[in-house]
Amino acid sequence: MGPLVVNEIISPDTNLFLAFLIGIGFGFVLESSGFSSSRKLAGMFYGYDTTVLKVFFTAAITALLGMLFFSLFGWVDLSLIYINPTFLHSAIVGGVIMGAGFIMGGFCPGTAFCAISIGKLDALAFIGGLFLGIVAFTEGYPLFEELYKAEFMGTPTINEFLGLSRGLFSFGLIAAAFGMFWVGDWAEKKFPREEY
C-alpha cells in the first residue's frame, strides 16, 4: 500500500488490511460508476459520456491532496514512495498500444477485471488478450529490450520536470480538472447518445 509510517503509526498487518479495504472501495466505485460497461468506457473517446474522465480526475485530485496533507501532518513520508523509472520511448509505444486496446476492447486492465467480476464475457476475452500480450512481451523481451530501455530519464515527477513546487502543480492540476469537467459537460451535450 502507500508509505504510511508503518510501525510508528500503524502496524504492517493494519497497513495490509487498509490496502484490502481501499481495494474493495475502489472496485465498488468503479462498478457503481459504470466502469464495467465497455460502452460507457468507449463513450469517453467518442465524447458522449465523460464519466470516466470525471471519476479518474476526481480520484487523482483526491489522492494528490491526500498525500500532500498527509505529508504536511507527518503521516506519510513522501521520500518512501517508489516512482517508476521513466523510459520515454517505451512509455510512448506502450501508451499507444494500451490506448488502441482500450478503444478496440472498451476496457483498460482495471475495468476489465471489474467487468469480469460481474460476469461480462467480453471482459473475459479482453483479459485473455491481456495475458497473451504479457506472454508475448515476456518471451520476446530480447527483441524489445533496446526499445524498452531507450531514452532513460530517471525518476522525475511531473512537478520536478516542469520546475514547479508540489503546491503550485497541485493548484494547476485542480484548475485543469475543473476545465476538463466543463469540457466534458460540453461534449456530452454536443455529442448526445443513448446507451443500449
Residue 5 in domain: no
Residue 2 in domain: no
Distances (CA, A) of 117 to 30, 99, 102, 121, 126: 11, 23, 18, 10, 13
Residue 47 in domain: yes
Note the pLDDT of residue 35: 81
Q: Which domain holds residue 72?
A: 12-190
Note the pLDDT of residue 7: 59
Under a CB-based contact definition with an 8 Å cutoff, are residues 29 and 23 in contact?
A: no
Note the pLDDT of residue 49: 84
Note the pLDDT of residue 61: 92
- Residues of the chain predicted below pLDDT 70: 1-8, 194-196
Note the pLDDT of residue 4: 55
| Residue found by looking up cell 520546475 in the block | 163
Q: Which three cell numbers stand for residue 118?
A: 460481474
Residue 6 in domain: no
Residue 162 in domain: yes
What is the number of structural domains in the chain? 1
Residue 160 in domain: yes
Note the pLDDT of residue 1: 45
Q: What is the pTM of this model?
A: 0.69
Q: Which three cell numbers stand for residue 111?
A: 475495468
Residue 52 in domain: yes
Residue 195 in domain: no
Q: Burial, 167: exposed, middle or buried (Cβ in 10 Å; 0-12, 13-18, 19+)? A: exposed
